[in-house]
Amino acid sequence: MSIFNDNLERLKEIQVLGDIGDSEMKILLEPAQVNYLEIDIKGKKYPAWRIIYSRAIGPGKGGIRYHQDVSEDEVKSLAFWMALKNSLADIPYGGAKGGIKFNPKEVNQTELEEISRAYIDNFYPYLGQDKDIPAPDVYTNGQVMSWMLDEFEKKVGHHEPGMITGKPVELGGIALRGDATAQGGYLVTKELVNKFLPDKKDIKVIVQGFGNAGLFMTEKLDNDGYKIIAVSDSQGGIYNSNGLNIKDLIDFKKSGESVIKYKGGKVITNSQMLELDTDILVLAALENQITEDNAKNIKANYIVELANGPVTYEADKILAANNKIIVPDILANSGGVIVSYFEWAQNKTGQILEEEYLRNLLEKKMIGNWGKVYDQYVSYNGKITLRQSTYLIAVKRILAAEKYRGRI
């Protein structure tokens, strides 16, 4: 299944809805730059990519993921989504993404550092605070970013903390980054409830993916009184129709155990969990979780995409036909890159801003972005989806920038 082909199909819809000409659309169909090589460490090869999809609005921006299933199709799609996400969020970035194909769970800390530094050794000419700024993604974190920053600065011979975000505070990061993706998703979920479920009591929620973003999102919703009836990690899920004890479950998960070993509910598979009866389904795992094979079985009326690309194009059509409302990834999970922008701006200027100020600014931007997406959705009288609304806004901003640059 090609994720990128799904994106092209979605763009075709946007071309019609937005009355966009072929010459304009052409610039959106391929990435601006694809860098691929095999990292060689003691004779072992690791396929690696850094892809910039667009530079129209600003330098490349996007995470680096470590996963055994990373492919060029996936990285290109992620870079595409980053370009749209940054455009929609109204921050001065293009879109980029990187990845290394290996299983990080099968290497020790020393090997992980070697691979991380080798990535920078190979790609550093393409990176920089005004060229392309990486960040954490699946199975990368602040420690990985620290190794990468250190290796980059060794190569270029000067300090440049703005070349990468998601760093520890001691290296120029900001504390807000830790739960920024979840905070953004939580804020738009509350806006979703205010618009579509204003009188609903005892709202049931399922969260697929109990990693960093999914765990923080679950905690925030639980604190607000939502009933979390199921969560899952890579091993499977746990379900309790009366609601899980989330505080206890989080402590259990942080001890290093899978949620399937938790005694407070029934063990279920990820696929079973997706099809449970619930009000809101939060997708915080990986791509292609709801496909044309299971879309018709989805009972949740509202879906929040905290992960990138969890619903395929064909599934989108089925869900829309069944009147399911999806808050798309480029809106729902944009809190992370918005806070990365705050970090980058501070690194470039040397100005340090209070966390409370930045948290309020994140809230203002997330709610403002939700508002412009929702208003356009309403203006079409239900004839477009929320995803189509986000794409229309994002694509038109990118194309406007390309026109001003004289490229179209």
User: Residue 111 contacts by C-beta under 8 Å, 6 or more apart in sequence?
Assistant: 41
- In whole angstroms, how far apart are CA 290 and each of 96, 313, 319, 392? 25, 10, 10, 23
Q: Which two tokens stand for residue 329?
A: 């990834």
Instruction: Check: CB of residue 144 under 8 Å from CB of residue 116.
Output: yes
For the residues of 120-133, what is the DSSP string, one character each?
A: HHHHGGG-BTTTEE
Specify the pairing of strand 236-239 against strand 266-268.
antiparallel
Alpha-carbon gap, residue 244 to 166, rounded angstroms: 31
Specify the pairing of strand 280-283 against strand 302-305.
parallel
Identify the H or E element spanning 156: helix 142-156
Instruction: Check: CB of residue 230 under 8 Å from CB of residue 250.
Output: no
Alpha-carbon gap, residue 184 to 174, rounded angstroms: 16
Residue for token digits 């440049």? 160
Q: Is 155 a catalytic residue?
A: no
Which of 85, 97, 167, 220 is catalytic? The answer is: 97
For the residues of 257-323, what is the DSSP string, one character each?
A: --GGG-SSSEEE-HHHHHTS--SEEEE-S-S-SB-TTTGGG---SEEEE-SSS-B-HHHHHHHHHTT
Q: Give the catalytic positions in this structure.
A: 97
